[in-house]
Amino acid sequence: GNWTSSVSNTSFNEFRVFWGSNNPPIICPKSGTGGPVHLTMGPPGTFAGRLYPGANFGCTVFTGLEGEENLSLTENFSWVTGQHQFKFGAQASQVRTIIDIVNFHDGQWTHPFDVEFDINNSQSWPDAFTGNVGGTTAKTNIWGFSFFAQDTWRVSDALTLNLGLRYDLDRSVQAGNEFVDAKNDRIVAQLGGDPKVTRTNVDTDNIAPRLGLTWKPLPGRPLTVRGATGVFYDQAHNNFNAIYII
Residue 207: predicted pLDDT: 96
Q: What mean pLDDT is reported for the chain?
A: 87
Q: Assign 3-class secondary structure to the chain.
A: CEEEEEEECCEEEEEEEEEEEECCEECECCCCECCHHHHCCCCCCCCCEEEECCEEEECCCEEEEEEEEEEEEEEEEEEEECCEEEEEEEEEEEEEEEEEEEECCCCEEECCCCCCCCCCCHHHCCCEEECCCCCCEEEEEEEEEEEEEEEEEECCCCEEEEEEEEEEECCHHHCCHHHHHHHHHHHHHHHCCCCCCCCCCCCCCEEEEEEEEEECCCCCCCCCEEEEEECCCCCCCHHHHHHHHC
Residue 239: predicted pLDDT: 55
pLDDT tens digit sequence for 128-152? 988 887 778 878 888 999 999 999 9
Share of the chain above pLDDT 70, in %: 96
pLDDT tens digit sequence for 26-74? 888 888 888 888 888 887 777 877 777 788 788 888 888 888 889 999 9
pLDDT tens digit sequence for 212-242? 999 999 888 889 999 999 999 887 766 555 5
Greater confidence, 76 or 132? 76
Residue 225: predicted pLDDT: 95
Residue 161: predicted pLDDT: 97
Predicted model pTM: 0.75
The top-scoring range by mean pLDDT among 11-20, 49-58, 171-180, 217-226 is 11-20
Residue 98: predicted pLDDT: 85
Q: Residue 244 above 70 pLDDT?
A: no
pLDDT tens digit sequence for 184-223? 888 898 888 888 888 888 889 999 999 999 999 988 888 9
